[in-house]
Structure 1
């Protein structure tokens, strides 16, 4: 009875996101409400004693994951908010992209920029920086939404080829099932699928767009903070690979250096302005993450994820991997991948590579299926759960082509 109630809560949370435009209830508030109620129900059902302690331990573990993500998002978004306010992102765009470009060429350029960026840094940072590019071009609402969807897919695709780009890729690599050289091969199907989606999206896109002129002046300290941001991204990868240092610790260190540089370069009044950029971080995004992860933690606690691993083992691994990728659009791919690794399925190298691609890219099929999608939905007003659904056929086709190409290459070279 309890499990049925909890699953109903998860479904209601999903429906609250879908019908946000109808109910006018903020999705961050509704998901947080259902997430909290689900854990309250778990505690009430547990009662006193040993079972209650186990639920408390599970909640603490869930909250630790959430707190880590919150701090990481806060530090990343603070950097981006500062650089965006100072016009540094726009200036970078003008250096990389031409002032006037056709919409079709812009789509391809932005797609590959997002793809490459996400291979070397986390999905959240790649999404925020890529979305920052869109603000420099004069795009209509429909085109901005289409570009945002393309960025989500490109960011998730870029992360599968390197252990620095996606947590699930790192998890599968650390489990010893794939090697770096094998993962690098995934960059080919990822690039092909992103190019396919860019072509599909640009079929009816005509005309040219131009960048908005930059009139803002910046100082040496702004350049210094931009360099600190870049170095923080690089050190996040290096320290994680060499010493296993969590990315959140490196980014918080970078943020502290940003504040110290601001203190030495500015007066007290100007330093307060730097601290104000933390307040510009949209806490709706953080609350939405909190609600979603509470619900995912609840599903993990009641064994729903374990049931999925049992279903996974019933079918051919290549089919199961494809469907698992689609399932990651509804359930966070990290606990889903963790549950699969814990089940220890017997797979060969091509099948492990197929799983790596599927869980990394499959979350793009729904806007709530990845961190990139959730961040984009909070940043692009035109992008909602319902409006995203019209792009699902193109996304599914691109995902399928990428997955098929992954299997073809894997069986051809690594079997």
Structure 2
């Protein structure tokens, strides 16, 4: 293939990366840009493929790319539909308030919100976990400075909670689907990730000494809502068990769980002509799914022109542990999805323990800057005083917590 084609594909990828970083500046949805550039890159590859042999290689490459994307898409579609249903029914918010006392110290509440954000983000997507946590924080009507501390802990806890579960973070799911880490080993990442959350929460809790009165919301939920919540939790547990014992792909188990949800809704009369259960699929965030589609198409095109070899050059000049640590810091500037996809496509050589460390790094590293993760962007859009600079004042504490968690993940890898 001609050099100018490779240069053009690389230029398109850089343009896509800039569109992601400066989304809030250009006011164009990043999903729209990367989907356009990703499909354009493959069109260019086909039009300038040259020989029949090279043309066939591009067809094979696109087929493999689409197959990977399909597995990711279907898994996320099933998981997000569950969460949309439970969130719309108010079941998630109701559970939160059920466990909160009527009066609590600010310090204890900070820890409770951190734990909730950490746990819930491992079961649901980061955006939903952030929205629910921020809604709870804003309902407390705290002073602006204290809201910033709660928001900072939430963003870090949400990103930390997702790294250990394939249901919680897309990059974790991508690394798992690529066969780089097992579910059991990924679950062990929850220990260093939780340690990091506790460290940050402790550091930010010192100035908080007041008491908070919580106005509880009491709602009655129908049997079908509780039944579907049980199906969701059962689906998560069986996904892990089926994969460990029978090597069943997670996407198959989650689609089966989704089908059970649909049937239960029908049996309980929740699925009606005026309110069909399939409406909840339409309410999931398709812009997120389209963003993943565009990014993975772009990275797939980069692989076809062998541009990813240069990307992993950092692993030639640094020890693997330091390179992974650096990748985590880079993920606060560059979206962790393209970072992870590029590393997976470049076939960088690492053992399972090193892949686990990378999983932690790219999952939690985005918390270092408010623009480095979807959780940060969502929190910034909901809290007026949460800006790039106001979040930056906690950078040292965030970096310390991230570094402690990363060190613990390395030690855990040695133990494994």
Partner of 1:223: 226
User: Is contact 1:17-1:385 (8 Å) kept?
Assistant: no
Moved more, 27-36 or 247-256: 27-36
Moved more, 69-78 or 158-167: 158-167
Q: Give the alignment's Cα RMSD to 1 decimal.
A: 3.9
SS in 1 for 2:272: helix
Q: Quick check: 1:111 aligned with 2:119? A: no
User: Is contact 2:155-2:379 (8 Å) kept?
Assistant: no
Q: Quick check: 1:318 aligned with 2:324? A: no
Partner of 1:344: 349
* Deviations, residues 236-274 of structure 1 (Å, cap 9, x unaligned): 111121122222221111111111111111176367343
What is the Cα deviation at residue 92 of structure 1? 0.9
* Deviations, residues 303-360 of structure 1 (Å, cap 9, x unaligned): 33333334303332332232233345535354355357x4435x6x976664454344
Partner of 1:246: 249
**In the aligned structure 2, how far is the partner of 1:86 from the partner of 1:272?**
13
TM-score, normalised relative to structure 2: 0.78
Q: Quick check: 1:93 aligned with 2:96? A: yes
User: Is contact 1:145-1:382 (8 Å) kept?
Assistant: no
User: Is contact 2:126-2:374 (8 Å) kept?
Assistant: no
* Deviations, residues 148-206 of structure 1 (Å, cap 9, x unaligned): 6544533443455678873477479x669x996x8776544322321233245556667
**In the aligned structure 1, how far is the partner of 2:341 from the partner of 2:331?**
10
Q: Quick check: 1:79 aligned with 2:82? A: yes
What is the Cα deviation at residue 84 of structure 1? 1.5
Q: Quick check: 1:3 aligned with 2:9? A: no
User: Is contact 2:159-2:367 (8 Å) kept?
Assistant: yes
Partner of 1:44: 47
* Deviations, residues 42-76 of structure 1 (Å, cap 9, x unaligned): 22231452212222222222222222222222222
Partner of 1:335: 341
TM-score, normalised relative to structure 1: 0.78
* Deviations, residues 202-248 of structure 1 (Å, cap 9, x unaligned): 56667565656435432111111111111111111111211222222
User: Structure 1 stretches of 5 or more lacking a match?
Assistant: none
Q: Quick check: 1:259 aligned with 2:262? A: yes
CA distance change for structure 1 residues 85 and 409 in 2, over 3 Å: closer, same or farther? closer
Query: 1:294-309 maps to which residues of 2 (within 5 A)?
Result: 294-309=297-312
**In the aligned structure 1, how far is the partner of 2:50 from the partner of 2:106?**
60
User: Is contact 1:162-1:169 (8 Å) kept?
Assistant: no
SS in 2 for 1:272: coil
CA distance change for structure 1 residues 101 and 93 in 2, over 3 Å: closer, same or farther? same
Query: 1:27-176 maps to which residues of 2 (within 5 A)?
Result: 27-47=30-50, 49-117=52-120, 121=123, 124-125=124-125, 128-129=128-129, 131-137=131-137, 138=139, 150-158=153-161, 166-167=172-173, 170=176
Q: How many residues align?
A: 401
User: Is contact 2:159-2:364 (8 Å) kept?
Assistant: yes
CA distance change for structure 1 residues 163 and 241 in 2, over 3 Å: closer, same or farther? farther
Partner of 1:395: 398
CA distance change for structure 1 residues 139 and 273 in 2, over 3 Å: closer, same or farther? farther
Moved more, 204-213 or 109-118: 204-213
**In the aligned structure 1, how far is the partner of 2:61 from the partner of 2:395?**
34
* Deviations, residues 124-148 of structure 1 (Å, cap 9, x unaligned): 5466346434434415698777656
**In the aligned structure 2, how far is the partner of 1:187 from the partner of 1:393?**
23
CA distance change for structure 1 residues 18 and 135 in 2, over 3 Å: closer, same or farther? same
**In the aligned structure 2, how far is the partner of 1:179 from the partner of 1:235?**
12
CA distance change for structure 1 residues 55 and 284 in 2, over 3 Å: closer, same or farther? same
User: Structure 2 stretches of 5 or more lacking a match?
Assistant: none
User: Is contact 1:167-1:334 (8 Å) kept?
Assistant: no
Partner of 2:28: 25
User: Is contact 2:370-2:380 (8 Å) kept?
Assistant: no
User: Is contact 2:328-2:364 (8 Å) kept?
Assistant: yes
CA distance change for structure 1 residues 281 and 188 in 2, over 3 Å: closer, same or farther? closer
**In the aligned structure 1, how far is the partner of 2:180 from the partner of 2:271?**
49
Partner of 2:283: 280
What is the Cα deviation at residue 276 of structure 1? 1.8
Moved more, 389-398 or 218-227: 389-398
* Deviations, residues 261-305 of structure 1 (Å, cap 9, x unaligned): 111111763673432222221222222222222223233333333
**In the aligned structure 2, how far is the partner of 1:15 from the partner of 1:395?**
25
SS in 1 for 2:400: helix
